[in-house]
Amino acid sequence: MTLYTLITGASSGIGLELAKIFAENGHPLILTARSTDRLEAIAKELRSRFDIEIHVIPADLSQPQAPKKLYDTIKRKKLAVENLVNNAGIATHGPFIDTPWEQERGMLQLNIVSLIELTHLFLPQMKERRSGSILNVASTAGFQPGPYMTNYYASKSHVLFFSEGLAVELKPHRISVTVLCPGPTETPFFDAAGMRDTQLVNSPLVMSAEKVARIGYDAWLRKKLIVIPGFVNWFMATTVGLMPRFAVRALVGYLNR
């Protein structure tokens, strides 16, 4: 039976780089995002370079019915998912009070609810096979509160804590969980969130999507639970608890403004 790796948000940035790395390592793929044409072009290129099976199934995961619809389509096509890469995510940026609710709702649905529902839908088949993996993309944002991206930071905390708890529950079933927590990474994400002129995006901490994806893939391969690419990102995320919380809030608010 062919076992597939399903990657959400595979049309650009970190998800696209992960798709390339999984493909070059011979994994048959199911790619999803909203941009059908981009996904088809990526699939065509990867098929020709690596001679692997790739299915494209577009979905708008900010819609509440989308995860079940995606799951049903994959089931109808009789494709088995061995590895689930929950990468798709967006950010809202600016004072929470000023952001349109539809944007905040869509982000919560995409970053949290769809990620968790897809995990819930695909886990039973992994449990039955006694093998499988989940690779969730959170962020260094998940380690502390983030004024002016308040709901985004909180959404990534949810993904981080969800992944850590789940890893313990799934160990007896031989299903691994990895949570990739990148710091600022050069992708269209900054433009989509309208945050090109922030201190954070213009800091020397920014890494390439390819490097972040490679570090994430290697950690996934080693079944490492939490991976934070880049020494400074790692140091800040792991020592943030030692700083007074008021200072953390002030610093992150300054960086996000």
Sketch the per residue contact string, 145 through 164, with ligand NAP: x for CB under 6 A, - otherwise.
Answer: --------------------
Using the structure block, give the residue that is written with the tokens 């927590």.
181
One residue of 74, 90, 236, 237 binding ligand NAP per CB under 6 A? 90
- Closest Cα partner for 6 from 32, 24, 37, 33? 32
Q: Counting contacts by CB under 6 A, is residue 110 touching ligand NAP?
A: yes
Considering the complex, what minimum distance in angstroms separates the CB of residue 93 from ligand NAP? 12
Assess whether 152 carries a catalytic annotation: yes
Considering the complex, what minimum distance in angstroms separates the CB of residue 255 from ligand NAP? 12
- Our CA angle for 6, 142, 190, nearest 5°, is 70
> Contact, 160 vs 181, CB < 8 A?
yes
Query: Dihedral through CA 102, CA 103, CA 109, CA 112, nearest 10?
Result: -150
Number of residues that bind ligand NAP (CB under 6 A): 29
One residue of 4, 29, 31, 62 binding ligand NAP per CB under 6 A? 62
Sketch the per residue contact string, 112 through 151, with ligand NAP: x for CB under 6 A, - otherwise.
Answer: -------------------------x-x------------
Considering the complex, what minimum distance in angstroms separates the CB of residue 247 from ligand NAP? 22
Using the structure block, give the residue that is written with the tokens 């008021």.
246
Any residues with CB less than 8 A from the CB of 97 and at least 6 apart, and which? Answer: none
| Token code pair at residue 190 | 């900054």
| Token code pair at residue 39 | 């996904």
Name the CA radius of gyration of the chain, rounded. 18
- Would strands 175-180 and 132-137 be described as parallel, antiparallel, or unpaired? parallel
Considering the complex, what minimum distance in angstroms separates the CB of residue 241 from ligand NAP? 19
**133 alpha carbon, distance to own chain's centre:** 14
- Would strands 132-137 and 80-86 be described as parallel, antiparallel, or unpaired? parallel
Q: Counting contacts by CB under 6 A, is residue 233 touching ligand NAP?
A: no
- Full DSSP string of 227-253: E--SHHHHHHHHHGGGS-HHHHHHHHH
Pick the catalytic residue from 152, 153, 217, 254.
Answer: 152
Nearer to ligand NAP among residue 87 and residue 92 (C-beta)? 87
One residue of 31, 43, 61, 84 binding ligand NAP per CB under 6 A? 61
Nearer to ligand NAP among residue 4 and residue 190 (C-beta)? 190
Nearer to ligand NAP among residue 145 and residue 174 (C-beta)? 145
The amino acid present at 87, given as its one-letter code, is N
One residue of 6, 7, 14, 121 binding ligand NAP per CB under 6 A? 14
Q: Counting contacts by CB under 6 A, is residue 208 touching ligand NAP?
A: no
Positions touching ligand NAP (CB under 6 A) are: 9-15, 33-35, 59-62, 87-90, 110, 137, 139, 182, 184-185, 187-189, 192, 209
Catalytic residues: 152
